[in-house]
């Protein structure tokens, strides 16, 4: 490390880390390392060891893609207009209902491999393209299967209140009934989701409808999170905070009142610069205000076929710096420590601390600012999950 740069990032220079039973049991200067059997020691070759990346907001599992819609948008048709004309999320719903679970898994695994190749050890995956019980369950099961196939931790989120399925056109309240009375109870019973999310927006659901979803989630012991204030200010952040949401996500149009409520409720702000970039949004989330109020700021890819077809967490770190004014240190914290909090896993993963899971990424870099700096660089960090070192192809 360049000695002229002060050690920040909470870094330990010439450090060592001990793992027992999948957890971090020792952390400190290499000279102070207790004696370990030499065959159990791994030399990280003067690279940097960080917590494994946590991508805390993705819609990774879906059928088809929306490249044609991308072409339309480039010709000037807006995201909202496409949604109102029956395209957008609903077109992915049609494709997701059609595809079988095996192919759904294959498609998603391909996208996930892009993320794990860049150091992701935990990924959140939302449902929300099935919009009926059978297909929402299909998506959540595929998401859970990915954890087994891809050596990654997966946290699943039920996003039944994502969009109105075509068969409920004009009957949004009836659909919300279905979400609250049938879907949430069944998904809770089968233990398929770690949290419940919704899309509170003029092209999504109203705060009144989302409130009902949150009440049903609460009744079944599931924490909530919310797509809030992405395109307009609906008061979603205030509603989320009222339910002690784990996170409110997007937040381009959040009010100061929303930020205050989030600070009070300890609700994490999940910022998604990929969607901001892709939709050519010009209104930025109020980063200074979030900082001022001490709201934790997480970052995620929001990987989805419409507004953020992105599988690169490192690109998101760069976008957070260039588009939102994050420091590279805040960006790395956003995709590790704060991302873990946004999933309610702050005690388990996200930092290098004694007692936490040994989920790590070992990077061939000279300084962690490089992670936000390069675009498209193929680092292939070695990942460690629960103390298991990934075998690296040579």
For residues 281 and 91, what is the distance between their CA atoms, to the nearest angstrom? 22
Q: Is 141 in the site for Fe ion (CB under 5 A)?
A: no
State which residue, 302 or 338, has the beta carbon closest to ligand DI6.
302
| DSSP state for residue 36 in the 8-state scheme | -
Residue at shortest CB range from Fe ion = 302
Radius of gyration of the chain (CA): 21
Q: Would residue 21 be called left, alpha or beta, if left means φ above 0 and alpha means ψ between -120 and 50 degrees?
A: left
State which residue, 88 or 334, has the beta carbon closest to ligand DI6.
88
Residue 360 contacts residue 352 (beta carbons within 8 Å) = yes
Segment lying near ligand DI6 (by CB under 6 A), choices 85-93, 98-106, 133-141, 367-375: 85-93
Q: Residue from 304, 318, 336, 382 that binds ligand DI6 (CB under 6 A)?
A: 304
For the segment 44-73, give every residue that binds ligand DI6 (CB under 6 A).
59
Cβ burial 98-117 (10 Å sphere, 16+ → b, else e): ebeeeebbebbbebbeebbb
357 binds, among ligand DI6, Fe ion, none (CB under 5 to 8 A by kind): none
For residues 256 and 386, what is the distance between their CA atoms, to the nearest angstrom? 40
Torsion angle (degrees, nearest 10) of CA 314, 315, 320, 323? 160
Segment lying near Fe ion (by CB under 5 A), choices 1-9, 17-25, 285-293, 294-302: 294-302
Q: Is 302 in the site for Fe ion (CB under 5 A)?
A: yes
Q: Is 135 in the site for ligand DI6 (CB under 6 A)?
A: no
Tell me the closest approach of the beta carbon of residue 302 to Fe ion, in angstroms. 5
Tell me the closest approach of the beta carbon of residue 273 to Fe ion, in angstroms. 13
337 binds, among ligand DI6, Fe ion, none (CB under 5 to 8 A by kind): none
Residue 158 contacts residue 193 (beta carbons within 8 Å) = yes
Residue 195 contacts residue 155 (beta carbons within 8 Å) = yes
Interface ranges with ligand DI6 (CB under 6 A): 59, 88-89, 92, 162, 199, 227, 230, 275, 302, 304-308
Interface ranges with Fe ion (CB under 5 A): 302
């Amino acid at each position: 490390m360049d000695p002229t740069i002060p050690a920040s990032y909470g870094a330990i220079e010439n450090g060592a880390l001990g793992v027992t039973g999948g957890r971090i049991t020792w952390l400190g200067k290499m000279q102070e390392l207790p004696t370990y059997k030499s065959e159990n020691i791994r030399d990280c070759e003067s690279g940097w060891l960080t917590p494994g990346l946590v991508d805390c907001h993705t819609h990774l599992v879906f059928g088809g893609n929306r490249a044609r819609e991308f072409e339309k948008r480039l010709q000037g048709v807006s995201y909202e207009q496409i949604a109102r004309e029956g395209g957008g999320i609903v077109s992915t719903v049609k494709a997701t209902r059609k595809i079988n679970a095996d192919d759904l898994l294959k498609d998603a695994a391909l996208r996930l491999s892009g993320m794990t190749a860049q150091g992701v050890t935990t990924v959140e995956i939302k449902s929300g393209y099935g919009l009926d019980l059978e297909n929402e369950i299909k998506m959540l099961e595929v998401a859970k299967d990915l954890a087994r196939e891809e050596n990654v931790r997966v946290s699943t989120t039920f996003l039944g209140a994502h969009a109105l399925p075509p068969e409920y056109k004009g009957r949004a309240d009836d659909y919300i009934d279905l979400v609250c009375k049938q879907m949430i109870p069944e998904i809770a019973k089968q233990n398929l989701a770690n949290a419940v999310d919704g899309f509170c927006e003029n092209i999504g659901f109203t705060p009144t409808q989302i409130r009902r979803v949150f009440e049903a989630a609460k009744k079944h012991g599931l924490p909530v999170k919310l797509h809030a204030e992405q395109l307009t200010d609906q008061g979603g952040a205030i509603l989320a905070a009222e339910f002690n949401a784990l996170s409110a996500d997007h937040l381009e149009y959040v009010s100061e009142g929303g930020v205050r409520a989030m600070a009070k409720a300890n609700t994490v702000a999940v910022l998604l610069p990929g969607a901001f970039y892709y939709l050519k949004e010009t209104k930025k989330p109020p980063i200074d205000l979030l900082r001022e109020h001490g709201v934790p700021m997480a970052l995620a890819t929001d990987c989805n076929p419409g507004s953020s077809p992105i599988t690169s967490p490192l690109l998101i770190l760069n976008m957070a710096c260039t588009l939102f004014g994050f420091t590279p240190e805040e960006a790395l914290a956003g995709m590790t420590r704060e991302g873990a909090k946004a999933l309610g896993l702050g005690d388990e993963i996200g930092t290098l601390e004694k007692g936490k899971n040994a989920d790590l990424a070992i990077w061939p870099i000279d300084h962690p600012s490089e992670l936000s700096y390069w675009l498209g660089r193929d680092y292939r960090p070695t990942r460690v999950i629960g103390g298991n070192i990934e075998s690296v192809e040579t």
